[in-house]
A and B are shown apart, each in its own frame.
Chain A
Amino acid sequence: MRDVAIIGAGITKFGERWSTSFRDLCTEAGIAAIEDANVAGEQIDAMFVGSMSAGRFVGQEHVGALVADYVGLGGELHIPATRVEAACASGGLAFRQAVAAVSSGMSEVVVAAGAEKMTDVGDSTDVLAGAADREWESFAGATFPGLYAMIACDYIHKYGLTREQLAQVAVKNHYHGARNPYAQFQNEITQSTVMNSTLVASPLRLFDCSPVSDGAAVVVICPLERAHEFTDTPIKVLASAQAGDTIALHDRPDFSTMGATVAAGNSAFRQAKLQRKDIDFVEVHDCFTIAELCAIEDLGFVPKGTAGKFTEEGETQLGGKLPVNTSGGLKSCGHPVGATGIKQIWEVVQQLRGEAGKRQVEGAEIGMTQNVGGTGATVVSHIFGRV
């Protein structure tokens, strides 16, 4: 297996992009990534596109081919494009498929994209509920916030998390998002903003939840040994891990522990031959505030039940021991579901190149991502380092 490096990364502004279509979002991010990588279309061998539900959000299937066509890789170059789906982990998984294609020697230069156009549909709650068990969770009344709310209820019962600690996750992510020009919400908030927002699914309120968003993100990868042909600042893929779990939350032994995050995290650290203390910053899947707390515990950064205190003490904010979600996370940067996994990787690239501006983690050498599908039935985790 060959080592793999990222040579380019691009992103669209996330948000309610009323005037921009699914294909134009992909083109916008794709051009940015390909220009950043300084590659010509003729040099690209393959493309993977992560999209959770283009079929239900915009009524468009076959989006691998659509995106390849509109970024100028389909019609004349006939580049193979494959759609990858694992609910909200579609982007991270598209990247992992791209890494597999390059590390195996099957391909040389590969594009990994993630995109979602969510604002064109009325009942996005119902589309997102398809990431859970449609017949035995969603049909029984479980919304997506409702499932994570049941995780939060269990967590609070076991560990005594305070409402303020949970709110601080969103406050911190908005602090970071206010420093990211591509974020959907670039405003800071306070704990009272969260605690006085409308109830969605108790105990989760509106500001505990990631928004409905449009957006796309794209990265370009190649064998590490060729990376300097394209860029002076390649980012090495140190680990690529994926793990699965039961589709339904009710079948998990412990609702507050995401077994797939534990498994993927352990696998990633083994591959990279690194310790938890070696990670300078992490982008985790905070689709809801409670999910970020579970993530940093399940990845092994802090003991179970202590992430609320760790967050309250400022350790996950810029300048803390472990900055978490410097992009603003899903909460503040936005969560176009298929794009999120690639956006996390885009953020790691900005940080490791030292190009993250006002949200730069000083001296960042090694970054990690954790991207969740559903309530944890798929988790994809990567570790990256400077070369």
Chain B
Amino acid sequence: MTVARFWREIPQRYNLVGTKCETCGAVFFPPRTLCPHCRRDGKIVPCKFSGKGKVMTYSVIHSASDQYFDLKPYVLAIIELEEGTRVTSHVICEPDDVYIGMPVKSVFRVLDCDGPDGVIHYGTKFTSDV
């Protein structure tokens, strides 16, 4: 991912900050600048999430793209945050330990880097919150 493309989303990637529609109360992560329910009647404001959630579904990735080749096998999951929205992310645990309904919390981690001399991408992953 190019430097600017990653950089512009650092607030969301580092801190799990999404958005909320004050009209209908829906919360969004990744952030949306338009509420799909209220559209132009919506009022979008930033919303910081607690980072606590649970695993809705998951897979252990054995065949990765070049970006995460060195991490495989890794656990990928869709996590529902306690505020109600969902996020796709790594779960840091042994492949055999993940299960549907597993409580998780967000943590700040290195995602990858653009080669040995390239930019290091940091972001959010999840870990067990039992």
**Residues in A lying within 8 Å of B, measured CB to CB:** 123, 125-126, 129, 133, 135-143, 145-146, 149-154, 157, 198-204, 248-251, 255
Contacts and interface: CB of A to CB of B under 8 A. Distances in A.
Contact of B100 (A135, A157, A202): A157
Interface of B: 1, 5, 9, 30, 56-68, 71, 73-74, 76-78, 86-90, 95, 100, 111, 123
A125 B69 CA distance: 11
Nearest to B100: A157
A126 B67 contact: yes
A297 to B, nearest CB: 17
A100 to B, nearest CB: 26
18 contacts: A125-B63, A126-B65, A126-B66, A138-B65, A139-B1, A140-B123, A141-B64, A143-B64, A143-B65, A146-B76, A150-B57, A150-B59, A199-B73, A201-B63, A249-B78, A251-B86, A255-B56, A255-B57
Given A141-B74, A150-B77, A202 B62 contact: yes
Given A150-B77, A154-B56, A141 B62 contact: no
A150 B67 CA distance: 20
Contacts of A198: 62
Contact of A249 (B5, B58, B88): B88
Contacts of B95: 202
Nearest to A246: B36
A199 B60 CA distance: 9
A151 B56 CA distance: 10
A145 B64 CA distance: 9
Contacts of A149: 59, 61
A140 B88 contact: yes
Given A136-B30, A199-B73, A250-B86, 14 more contacts: A125-B63, A125-B64, A129-B65, A133-B30, A137-B88, A140-B76, A141-B74, A143-B64, A143-B65, A145-B59, A150-B76, A200-B62, A201-B62, A249-B78
Given A136-B30, A150-B78, A200 B63 contact: yes
A255 B63 contact: no
- Which 9 A-B residue pairs are closest in the complex by CB-CB distance? A149-B59, A250-B86, A154-B57, A126-B65, A202-B60, A136-B30, A150-B57, A199-B62, A125-B65
B66 A141 contact: no
A197 to B, nearest CB: 11
Contact of A255 (B61, B64, B73, B78): B78
Contacts of A251: 86
Contacts of B76: 140-142, 146, 150, 201
A135 B30 contact: yes
A111 B59 CA distance: 41
Contacts of B66: 123, 126
Contacts of B56: 154, 255
A157 B64 contact: no
A316 B14 CA distance: 48
A244 to B, nearest CB: 12
Nearest to A201: B59
Nearest to A127: B65
Given A123-B65, A126-B67, A250 B58 contact: no
A198 B62 CA distance: 9
A141 B95 CA distance: 15
B88 A142 contact: yes
A141 B89 contact: yes
Contacts of A137: 88
B65 A250 contact: no
Contacts of A199: 60, 62-63, 73
Contacts of A248: 30, 88
Given A126-B65, A153-B100, A201-B63, A140 B58 contact: no
